[in-house]
Amino acid sequence: VVITVSVVGATGFAGAVLTDLLSRHPGVRIDALTSASYAGLTVANVFPNLRVDAVYQPYDCDRLASTDIAFVCYPHAESFPVVAELVDAGMKVIDLSADFRLKDPDLYPEWYGFEHTREDLVAEAVYGLPELYREEIACARLVANPGCYPTSMLLGFLPLTGRFRLSGVIVDSKSGVSGAGRKASDKTHFCSVHDDFRAYAEVGHRHTAEMVQELSLAAGEPVPISFTPHLLPVDRGILSTLYCRLTDASGLTVLPSANELRELYEAYYQDEPFVEVVSAVPALSEVQETNFCRMAVRVDAAAGMVKVVSVIDNLVKGASGQAVQNMNIMCGFDERLGVEGRA
């Protein structure tokens, strides 16, 4: 064991997966798991399926002083003051909320309904997608762990951005219910979801801003995105069906062959430990409980479009697994340590 870690807000779904992953990670010791609602209870009290021997405690920045890395799993707007306090106290922080993902502080009131008061940290935070920002993550004090939908989308489009211009970008995503969080509501009642299916936040879902920011950065120009999330009657996983048209620099439509695209994708991700380019379109079950993003690319010649189907587990590569992957990079561990197995 080399470092100590703490999870702040450990009793949501992402917190539970993170607790499980960290408890089995050979390079870390868990310092503290905090919870406002469950302080005093054991992990087994709250999550009988976890076999982690620990007790939740109230959050107290001072008591985390010995922690090398803190993971913060608070809801947006509640997260950034705690993150700021921890960073100011000298800890490295991986924030799983959206509070440091957007580069432009003015976007927070518009998309998340709160005023950000730590523009310094917004400027400093590194967007924690290892496939894009591995080197910056290695030196970061504060990592903004990506959203689940943006992760599934960005990994699917990135190989294209360097080579083509993208237009007509459509992101049609389907997510398991754990993405809606652990809080009970009409919308997550079993009888509202089971044997059912629906779209939600059909225009203007909050992840759109994050998607547009990062895809535009990768593309070197603004890329509008039409994003539609849907709620699947499954527990975990996101499948995104991605559509776009490709043009060359002069704006002429180009349509590569399926083989060319497959090779482009394989080359782009050949050294990535957690991205798999496959030939048969992947199902959710191929990545559930893993940190892998698996994808296949198709050419729809008759319609002049490229399609990519990508799958991740929203709680692992879309949240806690990616957070551990980021921790590994920040600490000089092998990037796969503790996230290669089931989570």
Q: With binding defined as CB under 8 A, does residue 282 bind a second copy?
A: yes
Using an 8 Å Cβ cutoff, are 220 and 166 in contact?
Answer: no
Pick from 85, 266, 272, 286: which binds a second copy (CB under 8 A)?
A: 286
CA neighbor of 278 nearest in space, from 299, 250, 298, 254: 298
Q: With binding defined as CB under 8 A, does residue 278 bind a second copy?
A: yes
DSSP state, 223? -
Pick from 241, 247, 255, 263: which binds a second copy (CB under 8 A)?
A: 241
Cα 146 from Cα 151, distance rounded (Å): 6
User: Which span sits near a second copy by CB under 8 A: 101-109, 133-141, 200-208, 322-330?
Assistant: 200-208
Four-CA torsion 54, 59, 65, 71, nearest 10 degrees: 70
Using an 8 Å Cβ cutoff, are 323 and 96 in contact?
Answer: yes
Q: Give 267 or 342: the residue with its C-beta nearer to a second copy.
A: 342
Q: With binding defined as CB under 8 A, does residue 202 bind a second copy?
A: yes
Which is catalytic among the residues 61, 73, 148, 244?
Answer: 148
Q: With binding defined as CB under 8 A, does residue 342 bind a second copy?
A: yes
Q: Give 61 or 258: the residue with its C-beta nearer to a second copy.
A: 258
Q: Give 24 or 63: the residue with its C-beta nearer to a second copy.
A: 24
Give me the residues paired with residue 246 across strands: 166, 254
Q: With binding defined as CB under 8 A, does residue 307 bind a second copy?
A: yes
Q: Give 62 or 251: the residue with its C-beta nearer to a second copy.
A: 251
Q: Give 137 or 287: the residue with its C-beta nearer to a second copy.
A: 287
DSSP 240-288: EEEEEEEE-TTS-EE---HHHHHHHHHHHTTT-TTEEE-SSPPPGGGTT
CA neighbor of 269 nearest in space, from 158, 169, 162, 165: 158
Residue owning tokens 């997550």: 188
Number of residues that bind a second copy (CB under 8 A): 69
Provide the mask over 42-81, with x wherever binding to a second copy is found by CB under 8 A and - wherever it is not.
Answer: ------xx--------------------------------
Q: In one letter, which amino acid is 218?
A: A
Footprint of a second copy on 131-190 (CB under 8 A):
168-170, 172, 174, 177-178, 182, 184-186, 188-190
Q: Is 148 annotated in the active site? A: yes
How far apart, in Å, are the Cα atoms of 194 and each of 185, 188, 234? 14, 9, 8
Using an 8 Å Cβ cutoff, are 146 and 305 in contact?
Answer: no
Catalytic residues: 148
Residues that bind a second copy (CB under 8 A): 13, 24, 48-49, 168-170, 172, 174, 177-178, 182, 184-186, 188-200, 202-204, 208, 224-226, 228, 230, 232-235, 237, 239, 241, 243, 245, 278, 280-289, 296, 298-300, 302-305, 307, 309, 341-342
